[in-house]
Amino acid sequence: MRQRFGRGLTFALLILALAMPVMAQAPTSAPAPTAAPPAPALTGPIYVMTFFEVVAPSAGRAASLLHQFAVATRKADGNTGVLALRGIARPERFAIVEVWRDKAALDAHAAATKALGEKLQPIFAAPFDTRRNAALSVAEPRLGSEAGAGHAVYVLTHVDVFPAGKDQTVELLKQLAEDSRKDGGNLRFDVLQQEGRLNHLPLIEAWRDQHARSAHAAAEHTRTYRTKLTPLQGALYDERLYQAL
């Protein structure tokens, strides 16, 4: 009896030993990853920001071509504003800000933008970098109407934060825009949101002159905003000053 029991126990232990490696290797079912919801397509108005740089000796030629492009673009069907800008600190840097009624109007203008790029191609130091954006907090008047305001200073800022801080940053920027529009010398203060990268939030500012812009930078509400934004940033605060062509 004891011999039979011992043989049975030995056989059971052998079966268990053979089964354990298989059990250990059996994959555990992991939960399927949750796909991020697709970003909604832009409907309108669509804000297009294009940045480029040319070799310094050809900056004057680039300015002339860009001015001609802006004049023609303002007459295009579906355009509701355009800015042609040249860097103050670095005059070989340029920016174009366009506002289009909808995607159809923007697409219809693609050939004109391509033609400008071809004309600039021989003198590019850095080619077109184009970003499409939706409006988050935008006030009238029409974009570009400030260009005749004497020595108006335009500021284009790219605010880049970690995705987890996006919603908090949006609220910070909306409050900043509301406060800044009350500052002396402010001509416009717009907050945008980049297509496909909702944690990228460009700003468009226009100030009567450099003094007004400097006063805004030192204002309590601006300093408070910068303090709260700093721990949320995913990249350095990219702020560039321009004058309209």
For 43-73, write each residue's pLDDT tens digit. Answer: 779 999 999 999 999 999 999 999 999 999 9
Q: Over pLDDT 70: what percentage of the chain?
A: 81
Q: Would you state the pLDDT for residue 143?
A: 83
Specify the pLDDT at position 5.
43
User: Is the pLDDT score of 42 beyond 60?
Assistant: yes
- Mean pLDDT for the chain? 88
pLDDT of residue 7: 53
Query: Is 232 within 8 Å of 169 (Cβ atoms)?
Result: yes
**Does residue 20 belong to any structural domain of this protein?**
no
Cite the DSSP H helix spans in the chain.
2-25, 59-74, 103-108, 110-120, 166-180, 210-218, 220-229
Encoding tokens for residue 168? 């908090």
Nearest to 94 by CA among 50, 57, 138, 145: 50
Output the CA angle 124-128-131, nearest 5 degrees: 160
Q: Does residue 18 belong to any structural domain of this protein?
A: no
Domain membership flag for residue 35: no
Structure tokens at 9: 């126990």
d(CA 104, CA 108): 6
pLDDT for residue 33 is more than 90: no
Determine contact, residues 231/211, Cβ cutoff 8 Å: no
Domain count, the chain: 1
User: Distance (Å, rounded) from C-alpha 101 to C-alpha 47?
Assistant: 9
Q: What is the CATH number of the domain that holds 77?
A: 3.30.70.100
- Please report, rounded to a whole number, the percentage of residues in the chain having pLDDT higher than 90: 77
The Cβ of residue 185 has, within 10 Å, a number of other Cβ atoms equal to 18
* Residue 28 belongs to a domain: no
* pTM beyond 0.75, yes or no: yes
On the question of pLDDT at 32 being above 90, the answer is no
Residues in the chain: 245
pLDDT band at 24 (very low <50, low <70, confident <90, very high): very low
Domain range for 171:
46-244
125-175 residue pLDDT tens: 999 999 999 999 998 767 877 766 668 999 999 999 999 999 999 999 999
Query: Distance between CA 79 and CA 14 in Å, rounded?
Result: 81
- Whether 239 has a pLDDT exceeding 90, the answer reads yes
Residue 87 domain flag = yes
In a domain, residue 55? The reply is: yes
Confirm whether 101 is domain-assigned: yes
Residue of 157, 148, 133, 176 whose CA lies nearest to 243: 148
Token pair in block for residue 209? 């002159």
Residue 26 placed within a domain: no
